Structures are given as C-alpha cells and as structure tokens.
Amino acid sequence: MTKQTSTTVTDPDAREKLHIAKVLLGGYAAVSVLTLLAIVVFSGDSDLVTGAVWVRGSILAAASLITFALGVSMARGSRSAYRRVRIIALAQVAAIAVIESIPGSFPVWFKVENGVCGTLLIIVVLLTLARTVRAAFAAR
C-alpha cells in the first residue's frame, strides 16, 4: 500500500496552470467520450468505423476518464496524481504520434480526433513540466 501524499499548492502561477491542465483533461475526456458515442452511432459503416477504431476509441475513452479523475486530484495537490498525469499524458502523446504517422491505419476523421486529443495532452504535459508546478510538487 502506497502512502498518499498531498501538498497545498500556494503559488498562484502553479495553481492556475494546474487548473488549466484539469480543464484541458476534462476537454480530452469529453472529446474521447463523444468519439466513442460517434463510433456507436456510425458502427454500421465499415469505412468510418473499423475494428481498430472500436478498440482504440474504447481504450481512449476509458483512459481519458481515468486521466481526468487524476487531473482533479492533481489540481487538489496530490503528488501521486501529478506523477501519474505526467506519465499517462506523455504515453498518450507518444501513442497518438505513432497512430498519426502510420498511413491508412485509421480513418481520417479518427486521426483528426486523435490530433485534437494529442494537442490537449501536449499542453497538459507542458503545464505540468512548468517550473512553478514542479516546485509545488517537489519532495520536501
């Protein structure tokens, strides 16, 4: 069992960056869940919804909700959530980069959606790597 460590984030710049990151993670979750809904609605069209789209879309929706929940905890000062958000966001950005780079791997609409999610996550990564945010979660 790991010990949950929290900190009170007092730096106004760090608090603002964490709030923005949380909002962006909420946007990522919303886009991902709406994408899963679109997958369900258009599942009868095999040009729009392939097996790979079902798998990736389902994983993305689940991961986005988990990441958003961690983002909420991070914004409240959870060090472990902060570390997890950074790791998950970086991993998702890498996965999206791979998906975007493989020609014909997914329909264009899905690649656009992944690009939107990737952009949101890149901003989250940059916010969590900001000096004031790192300092707020530095071990004491």
pLDDT tens column, 15-66: 999 999 999 999 999 999 999 999 999 999 999 999 999 999 999 999 999 9
Is residue 23, in this structure, part of any structural domain at all?
A: no
Asked whether 63 and 49 are in contact (CB, 8 A), the reply is no
Is residue 68, in this structure, part of any structural domain at all?
A: yes
pLDDT tens column, 75-126: 999 999 999 999 999 999 999 999 889 888 899 999 999 999 999 999 999 9
Is residue 115, in this structure, part of any structural domain at all?
A: yes
Is residue 90, in this structure, part of any structural domain at all?
A: yes
Q: What is the pLDDT of residue 4?
A: 57
Domain membership of residue 72 as a residue range? 28-136
Lookup result for tokens 């975007």 = 100
Is residue 17, in this structure, part of any structural domain at all?
A: no
Is residue 112, in this structure, part of any structural domain at all?
A: yes
CA-derived radius of gyration, the chain? 16
* Residue whose C-alpha is closest to residue 76's, from 26, 15, 1: 15
Helices and strands, counts by H and E, the chain: 5, 0
pLDDT at residue 3 greater than cutoff 60: no
